[in-house]
Structure 1
């Protein structure tokens, strides 16, 4: 079914295409191969499940993500401060997240060994990179041994109170620089531990590896309430969130941009580039990346939404800000915005004498989505587009990224506490988060550049 071909995969940044032309940056980029969560090679692989069950996994992940983000923002508003008491990483129960392999540490008897490989979940909403370490108690189950930090030649502890500790507001972990992470479920999953300096190793463009020494790494020693699918291969988090201090990964490795492309197939190669070429070309659009309530997230100035080129006139409806988040599977809209968008889709489908299922007519095998319609034969060609109108740029969502099409047609949108452009609606575009300095307004931290692109390459 079409839905089976519209799940997400991050693939390599193409150095040149007919659509995009690259200007080479000096330092070589970090290249991370990513595994699609529904691929048989993924530690999240859910097995042979139905299309409807896959949609429900997407929805579960979206609900958990929204709960996490909303809880974090509410806590920061409550204390009235911009200081972050907890570093919040996205470690979620739903099985729909991308992972990358990273080498951690260096070990004798092979001096300079490129680290033990661990699978880390990619999170654009977290500043902290961490791995579960040997000696943890309690721990979440991990198929491979926990990271043996004491045997790593590149391991350097940071004493409690040391001025180089990147989390000065955190409680110390025993006698070391400490961290605590959690997310807003009941009960919350959480990890506490020490922040150390370590070597991380990544693949390079030339089939080799590149190591970065003395990076901040969280060593997790106490973890509670994680429910990873067993056997679990996920060792921790790779945080790609924004931040101005010394902790964010991008700041540590000296990169000013990262880019990805979300494929419409789970059967493709996928890569994420940290650094690399500036994205330019005749089809490239740009909109500012903004500061927002959650300091680690990327905010956009969303001004309106169109359905099949008809504006919904939503100006002024996004005063709380809108984010773009590859860690959120499905786009969520603030309730007032969602209600208007829902009416727009109902009016469009009514032209074809199609009405959404309500509680009285709802089939038992529908996914947990609010807006689903019958699917007459041959209707695929009439599916509408949806456009997000940002400041200075319009993102036209591909139909394959907007609908689950099979026995039913379901609009892949949810009502939620915040408006977030999710990964599913980013398919078949290349996105570049660029933080190069230049002329910008006070609220701007960089630019999001994007253009349509065929993101897939066969595995």
Structure 2
């Protein structure tokens, strides 16, 4: 996502992440930074930049679980992501510009020590769209009405779309509205997934009444994680429908792969549907398999093991306008033929 920080506005890019809350960018002086194509933000050049101090009554350094007070009274942050990417730096306030709209005194992370798996992209950091106090969604709630929407294209060379506020209301024919559950202090958006189906075969998931939900919707996770027993059933069904011999993923991560040439030869994939409490969402065939390296296409659904949490990742959201409305705590899915044309 393209956005700008500071006065005058300094343009940069961040990966949008509905599964985390802190919005941060790499900052000078950089003790350890990953390569990025654009210049690194230097807070000395912004007239509106202000480091958050622990004794500043206008800034609550305990606003988020990743914030802490340093020995020199500076409010700092330390975030470690599931893929072991990590960022450490100062908490600050500055002007945030998105499109034509500017918002003053937004709490942001100025990262001085950063390690990221996404360092081969143009992104300089993360745009945190989760739902805890540090998220820009929570900070800008009055201005955007608790609404944002995105539409992911399956092609890496094609534009995707994101909007905030009244532009992010998702309605119309074929729109499916699923209830969201948010728990206090938790950045995650939880849904209840009753089952997954491949073709005519249905695979139920456990839903415990005491849980907020059983799957997180997360744009920052690049695969969909499901319980091993559900994945095994789905894998078997895929293999019945695809008349080619599976091959191994050289990285050993993906569990069902085929020759990319075979996948491009016009294979008709079975219909895959996520049956949520509230409605059904048919996953786009264009997000089901991805060429993970030259000649190897793999299913973008994998089993979870140590993590123990199901996650609806970005590939399972492609070709949909996905709208979050935190006034009614719901997420809407509307099919979109071309996400670049909004």
TM-score range with shorter-chain normalisation?
0.7 to 0.9
Is the aligned partner of 1:177 residue 2:75? yes
Show CA shifts across 1:352-410 (max 9, x none).
xx4754xxxx47879853224675997624x2101110011101112222235997875
Is the aligned partner of 1:158 residue 2:55? no
In the TM superposition, residue 118 of structure 1 has moved relative to its aligned partner by 1.7
Is the aligned partner of 1:191 residue 2:120? no
Q: How does 1:263-278 map to 2 (within 5 A)?
A: 263-277=153-167, 278=169
What CA distance in whole angstroms lies between the structure 2 residues aligned with 1:176 and 1:376?
Answer: 53
SS of aligned partner of 2:155: coil
In the TM superposition, residue 267 of structure 1 has moved relative to its aligned partner by 4.0
Q: Which residue pairs with 2:333 in the alignment?
A: 450
Against the structure 1 CA distance between its residues 224 and 429, is the aligned structure 2 distance closer, same or farther, given a 3 Å change threshold?
closer
Against the structure 1 CA distance between its residues 202 and 338, is the aligned structure 2 distance closer, same or farther, given a 3 Å change threshold?
same
Q: Which residue pairs with 2:191 in the alignment?
A: 300
Which entry has the higher C-alpha Rg, 1 or 2? Answer: 1
In the TM superposition, residue 135 of structure 1 has moved relative to its aligned partner by 2.6
Q: Which residue pairs with 2:255 in the alignment?
A: 370
* Structure 1 spans left out of the alignment, 5+ residues: 1-99, 107-112, 204-208, 438-445
What CA distance in whole angstroms lies between the structure 2 residues aligned with 1:151 and 1:283?
Answer: 48
Is the aligned partner of 1:252 residue 2:130? no
In the TM superposition, residue 340 of structure 1 has moved relative to its aligned partner by 2.5
RMSD: 3.4
Q: How does 1:13-412 map to 2 (within 5 A)?
A: 100-106=1-7, 113=8, 115-142=9-36, 144-168=38-62, 170-173=67-70, 174-183=72-81, 188-203=84-99, 209-221=100-112, 223-226=113-116, 229=119, 233-243=122-132, 245=133, 247-253=134-140, 254=142, 255=144, 256-277=146-167, 278-291=169-182, 295-314=186-205, 316=207, 321-349=214-242, 354=243, 357=246, 362=247, 369-372=254-257, 375=262, 380-381=267-268, 383-404=269-290, 410-412=298-300
In the TM superposition, residue 143 of structure 1 has moved relative to its aligned partner by 5.1
In the TM superposition, residue 296 of structure 1 has moved relative to its aligned partner by 1.1
TM-score, structure 1 as length reference: 0.62
Greater length-normalized contact order (CA 8 Å, ≥ 6 residues apart): 1
Q: Which residue pairs with 1:415 in the alignment?
A: 303
Against the structure 1 CA distance between its residues 315 and 175, is the aligned structure 2 distance closer, same or farther, given a 3 Å change threshold?
closer
In the TM superposition, residue 425 of structure 1 has moved relative to its aligned partner by 1.8
Show CA shifts across 1:314-352 (max 9, x none).
454897711111111221212122122223334445xxx
What CA distance in whole angstroms lies between the structure 1 residues aligned with 2:74 and 2:10?
Answer: 23
What CA distance in whole angstroms lies between the structure 1 residues aligned with 2:249 and 2:335?
Answer: 37
TM-score, structure 2 as length reference: 0.81
Against the structure 1 CA distance between its residues 429 and 184, is the aligned structure 2 distance closer, same or farther, given a 3 Å change threshold?
closer
Greater mean deviation of Cα atoms: 271-280 or 314-323: 314-323
Against the structure 1 CA distance between its residues 452 and 190, is the aligned structure 2 distance closer, same or farther, given a 3 Å change threshold?
closer
In the TM superposition, residue 178 of structure 1 has moved relative to its aligned partner by 2.0
Show CA shifts across 1:101-124 (max 9, x none).
222111xxxxxx3x1112222221
Against the structure 1 CA distance between its residues 448 and 143, is the aligned structure 2 distance closer, same or farther, given a 3 Å change threshold?
closer
SS of aligned partner of 1:211: strand
